[in-house]
Structure 1
Amino acid sequence: MTKKILIKNAQLVNEGRVFLSDVRISNERIEQISRSITPSGSDEVVDAAGFYLLPGMIDDQVHFREPGLTHKGTIASESRAAAAGGITSFMEMPNVSPSTTTIEALENKYKIAQKRSVANYAFYLGATENNLEQIKRLDPSKYCGVKVFMGASTGNLLVENITALEDIFREAPTLIVTHCESGPVIAKNLARVKAFNRPTVITDHPTIRDAEACFASSSLAVGLAKRYGSQLHVLHITTAKELSLFDPGPIANKSITAEACVHHLWFSDQDYAGLGNLIKCNPAIKSAEDRAALIQAVHEGLIDIIATDHAPHTWEEKQMDYPQAPAGLPLVQHALLTLFDHVTHKRMSLAQLVEKTAHNPAIRYGVIDRGYIREGYFADLVLVDMDTPFTVTPENTFYHCGWSPFMGYRFSSSILRTWINGQLVFDGQQIIECPGASKNLEFRGVR
């Protein structure tokens, strides 16, 4: 039986415009967009007067911790938190246990997601210094890309050998996404800090993992991409210095693109005093001046995509001393809310928010029929109330780890509803279980 939902009187935010419209969903897809659609007897009508309807966020960088690290999070728990935050699709990273460095391991994650994920999904293969044959087997229509940790990683996911890097940049059939921090520069900075003969503390983090560590690695990645004509996406840019590596303007036809993450647009090194290890992450949160430069780069098109780098750890792990405390923080449930606060404070526009979180990820990755509110596209939608604040509490937080760096913060907006493939999966209070509602993302390829 055909299920139809009619969303009436919404303020649509789509393709650079904000305009009043109705939207009819038929089963999984958007059937009609019009200023006034007359309800039929089979329509479930949602009155969205005064609210904003936007395409769901496509988060190109998350760590959901499954398999092997499920005491921190699972595909089930974190995809539900994502849906509660208006994220309708995610692309998940390979640093789980064991690392996702083979096609077989990659397929295993798809099987888990098919059974347990609420949101649409795709997974990266992790590059090593000796798995080039696996990388060459990647199907560009199914897999979102290959993740290269160019320093600052552990185990076999660290790729620093220049010959291995050249092989990957020459041969990869998919988008190459990189974590760029230079291990040698970090080691030099750490030795300098330790020379003071005192324990290292969280406020040392942006000094140890400084702008030079980021730039040395990012510039190497960009240089390799230019040499081999690679499709490169540099993740979580954190410094003003790195922005000189990228071209401004629209994302269309770029072969080298850049991403910023919500926490680097929100926090600065001034927040370490209050939040400590809770905001320890790699690359490090840096100065207020770097944050301002990133926000300006969003306006100029130097930053093409905004993502989360959601990376949960347990509360107990985060209470360890700085050197032992793991890097990463949970973000998917509150990412869009941080961006709506930026809109409220006129640091970015609604059109820019949607461009960087939905349109541009769809363009960069070649995601088929998602990322826009268009007739015939999948109905991945989020309804937002910009006039009703939302305060983060333990009771309304969906993360498996049970905490948020925003605990107690009062955001200016609220997520009212999230639809994924036409199914209501979040009603503003709780997750609506819809088995089989999510799908694996499909891609046109980027070459």
Structure 2
Amino acid sequence: MKRVLIKNAILVNEGSVKEGDIRLSGDRIDKIAAEISAETNDQVIDAQGAWLLPGMIDDQVHFREPGLEHKGRIATESLAAVAGGITSFMEMPNVKPSTTTAEALEHKFGIAEACSAANYSFYLGATEDNLDEIKALNPSRVCGVKVFMGASTGDLLVENPQALENIFRESPVLIVTHCEHGSVLNRNLQVYRDAGKTPSIIDHPKIRNVEACYASSSLAVGLARKHGSQLHVLHITTEKELSLFEAGPVANKQITAEACVHHLWFSEEDYPRLGNLIKCNPSIKAPSDRAALINALHTQQIDIVATDHAPHTWDEKQQDYENAPAGLPLVQHALLSMLDHVHHQRLSIEQVVEKTAHNPAIRYGVRERGFLREGYFADVVLVDPAQSTPVSHENTYYHCKWTPFDGHSFSSQIKSTWVNGVQVFDGSSLITGVHPGAALIFDR
């Protein structure tokens, strides 16, 4: 059994920051102590005072497989994820064909089992007529059901009031929602058409505005309260929406909220510089909204930080505003961006670990992951907070080979990532040929 002894680390876990050693044995954390003596067959790594964190659990990614492999694949994007310190992901259903049946769901589990560098689970996509598929879900195997409330196309758009009532009443798993109200979006866009104007990326937060978000998220929260549903509202972007969510620890909350790293980083002031590269739904909005989101991490109105990693090709992003797809690649730099907030004293390192590892594990009931605890799975990340990471399109691992952070230098560096005790990134290169990712199990 392979054993790794990491010495002289700063362990960040469950609100504490302390010096210590940790031994990984097989796929588990075997021992955590102030000092651990090396034994025969231990591979000893001197952390030299670097932070050791539980790996980030990203509850929202789009890895594009099956059907959209020109944008990304589970193999490529999971490698980029582990290079960024993400050791587990939960992947969305808007692929081709959409993941709206048990058969499609199992197909994706099969792909990941063969090639994923990180641990995985997949959402079933809700439609207006697949209630039986939703009711049949195994709560210990499937992370949740995804409901696009007014902001998708095709069979994944759920706007019919009775269909929404049924889903919120009957779902045996966590409901996660994309909340933008379709009629508000259409009305906002019609204003430009009536005036004979062609909107540009500068208009994106005016079309996908505060009203569109609040109208939809308040509807979702109202339905969850009515039916006692377990609801997690994805990628909150506005100060107004925060009034819908309770402050306090995530444990035992019925309704929770998430913010994404790009909404915590960019604002509408970045559109002139980055254009469609930061076009995403819901939109990046005002600096005041960004500040409110960061404050909500302190008040614990926002419980989880995720990525909504959604790659598109460079050429697709060079189209005109209305035709350019929404979404951007983020998993390789998400944790680093959060550590920049620590560097600039907007957040503490303990808060970052809570929002990216502990709280996703608690909210989803992820079994034995998300914490540095003896007996838990060995999903850990070594981070040097004093060594920078310069970013360029050329040094990304994404299949699409571009990043909205091109030209930025993050204040920290990912030194190593282990998934189930297997090193998958050594700080300078990916360790290919190993696929230690396993299906997540949920205690529900």
Which range, TM-score by smaller chain?
Answer: over 0.9
1:435 Cα deviation after fit: 3.1
RMSD (Å) for aligned C-alpha atoms: 0.7
Alignment of 1:253-332 (within 5 A): 253-332=252-331
CA deviations over 1:196-228 (Å, ceiling 9, x no partner): 322110011000000000000000000000000
Amino acid of the residue matched to residue 45 of structure 1? V
Amino acid of the residue matched to residue 163 of structure 1? Q
Match of 1:173 in 2: 172
Q: Distance in 2 between matches of 1:151 and 1:116?
A: 34
Q: Distance in 1 between matches of 2:315 and 2:372?
A: 42
Contact map agreement 2:118 2:435 (CA 8 A) in 1 = no
Amino acid of the residue matched to residue 183 of structure 1? G
Match of 2:224 in 1: 225
Alignment of 1:201-212 (within 5 A): 201-212=200-211
Match of 1:200 in 2: 199
Match of 2:142 in 1: 143
Match of 1:385 in 2: 384
- Asked if 1:123 corresponds to 2:130, the answer is no
Contact map agreement 2:6 2:23 (CA 8 A) in 1 = yes
Q: Distance in 1 between matches of 2:286 and 2:405?
A: 19
CA deviations over 1:327-379 (Å, ceiling 9, x no partner): 00000000001000000000000000000000000000000000000000000
Q: Distance in 1 between matches of 2:139 and 2:297?
A: 28
Alignment of 1:41-440 (within 5 A): 41-440=40-439
Match of 1:13 in 2: 12
Amino acid of the residue matched to residue 200 of structure 1? P
1:430 Cα deviation after fit: 1.3
Contact map agreement 1:10 1:22 (CA 8 A) in 2 = yes
3-state SS of paired residue (2:106): helix
Amino acid of the residue matched to residue 385 of structure 1? D
Amino acid of the residue matched to residue 160 of structure 1? E
Q: Distance in 2 between matches of 1:4 and 1:218?
A: 47
Gaps of 5+ in 2: none
Moved over 4 A (4+): none
1:287 Cα deviation after fit: 0.2
1:437 Cα deviation after fit: 1.2
1:394 Cα deviation after fit: 3.0
1:7 Cα deviation after fit: 0.2
CA deviations over 1:64-111 (Å, ceiling 9, x no partner): 000000000000000000000000000000000000000000000000
Q: Distance in 2 between matches of 1:436 and 1:286?
A: 38
1:393 Cα deviation after fit: 1.9
Q: Distance in 2 between matches of 1:128 and 1:247?
A: 29
Contact map agreement 2:17 2:350 (CA 8 A) in 1 = yes
Amino acid of the residue matched to residue 59 of structure 1? D
Contact map agreement 2:394 2:402 (CA 8 A) in 1 = no
TM-score normalized by the length of structure 1 = 0.99
Q: Distance in 2 between matches of 1:253 and 1:438?
A: 29
3-state SS of paired residue (1:378): coil
Q: Distance in 2 between matches of 1:315 and 1:433?
A: 25
CA deviations over 1:137-156 (Å, ceiling 9, x no partner): 10000000000000110110
Q: Distance in 2 between matches of 1:416 and 1:190?
A: 46
3-state SS of paired residue (2:80): helix
Contact map agreement 1:425 1:434 (CA 8 A) in 2 = no
3-state SS of paired residue (1:243): helix
Amino acid of the residue matched to residue 253 of structure 2? K
3-state SS of paired residue (2:75): helix
Q: Distance in 1 between matches of 2:393 and 2:237?
A: 29
Contact map agreement 1:421 1:437 (CA 8 A) in 2 = yes
Q: Distance in 2 between matches of 1:151 and 1:426?
A: 39
3-state SS of paired residue (1:160): coil
TM-score normalized by the length of structure 2 = 0.99
1:195 Cα deviation after fit: 3.0
Q: Distance in 2 between matches of 1:195 and 1:286?
A: 24
Q: Distance in 2 between matches of 1:199 and 1:341?
A: 37
Contact map agreement 1:193 1:208 (CA 8 A) in 2 = no
Amino acid of the residue matched to residue 146 of structure 2? K
CA deviations over 1:291-319 (Å, ceiling 9, x no partner): 00000000000000000000000000000
Q: Distance in 2 between matches of 1:435 and 1:52?
A: 25
Mean CA deviation greater in 157-166 or 424-433: 424-433
Contact map agreement 1:423 1:434 (CA 8 A) in 2 = no
Q: Distance in 1 between matches of 2:69 and 2:2?
A: 36
1:194 Cα deviation after fit: 2.6
Q: Distance in 2 between matches of 1:305 and 1:220?
A: 21
3-state SS of paired residue (2:347): coil
Amino acid of the residue matched to residue 395 of structure 1? E
Contact map agreement 2:192 2:198 (CA 8 A) in 1 = no
1:436 Cα deviation after fit: 4.1
Amino acid of the residue matched to residue 375 of structure 1? E
Amino acid of the residue matched to residue 183 of structure 2? P
3-state SS of paired residue (1:121): strand
Contact map agreement 2:424 2:434 (CA 8 A) in 1 = no
CA deviations over 1:43-84 (Å, ceiling 9, x no partner): 000000120000000000000000000000000000000000
Q: Distance in 2 between matches of 1:388 and 1:35?
A: 25
Gaps of 5+ in 1: none
